[in-house]
Homo-oligomer: A and B are copies of this chain.
C-alpha cells in the first residue's frame, strides 16, 4: 500500500517533467513557426497543446485524490500542494506557446516578426526553451543552485522584452500598428513563459527547503 503510494507520488513528478518537456518543445517549435512563417508547424503546436491540458487535469485529479486518501504530511504534503501549482504554471506556459503559434498562423503566409526584430525573437525563443528544459531538469534533480540560477537567467528575458519596446517606440519604426501589436504580444508571451518556468523552479526550492526562494538569495523579484 505504502509502496503504491510512493509510486503514485513519483508518477506525479514524472507528469510534471513530461509537461515541462512538452511545453519546452512547443515554445521552440512555435518560435520556428513564427520566424519561418511555417503554417504546418504552427498547427502542430496548436493541436499538441491538448496533450498538455490533459496531463494537467489528470495530474490535478491524482494529486487531490492522494491528498484525500493518504493524508500526507511534511514533504509529501508539500509535494502535492506545490505540484498543483506547478501543473497550473506549466499548463499556462503551454497556452503561451500556443498563442505564439496562433500569431504565426494568423499572419501566414506573411511573417509575423519584422526583419529587424528577428534576432531578438530568436533569442527569446531559445532562452524560453532553455529555461524550461532546465526547469524539467530541476524537477528531477532538485538542484537548488540551478533552480536559483534560473531566476537570474530570466532577467535576460526581461531585457529582451524591453528591447522590443524600445524598438517599437523608436521614431524609425515604420512598420505600422499591425506589426507593433504582433511584436508587443509576442514579447509579452515569451516574457510570461519565462516567468512561469521560474515559478516552477521556485516551487522546487520551496519543495526541497520549505522556504521561499525570495528568502534564500538576494535575487531580483520576478516580473509580474
A residues neighboring B (CB under 8 Å): 64, 67-68, 71, 73-74, 77-78, 81, 84-85, 88, 92, 95, 98-99, 165, 168-169, 173, 175-178, 180-181, 184-185, 188, 224
Contacts and interface: CB of A to CB of B under 8 A. Distances in A.
Given A84-B85, A95-B224, A98-B224, 16 more contacts: A64-B78, A64-B81, A67-B77, A68-B73, A71-B71, A84-B84, A85-B88, A92-B224, A165-B181, A175-B177, A177-B177, A180-B181, A181-B181, A181-B184, A185-B188, A188-B188
Contact of A169 (B88, B98, B181): B181
Contacts of A184: 180-181, 184-185
Contacts of A64: 77-78, 81
B188 A178 contact: no
Contacts of A71: 71, 73
Nearest to A169: B178
Contact of A178 (B78, B92, B95, B168): B168
A223 B68 CA distance: 31
A180 B78 CA distance: 44
Contacts of A81: 64, 67, 84
Nearest to A78: B64
A160 to B, nearest CB: 16
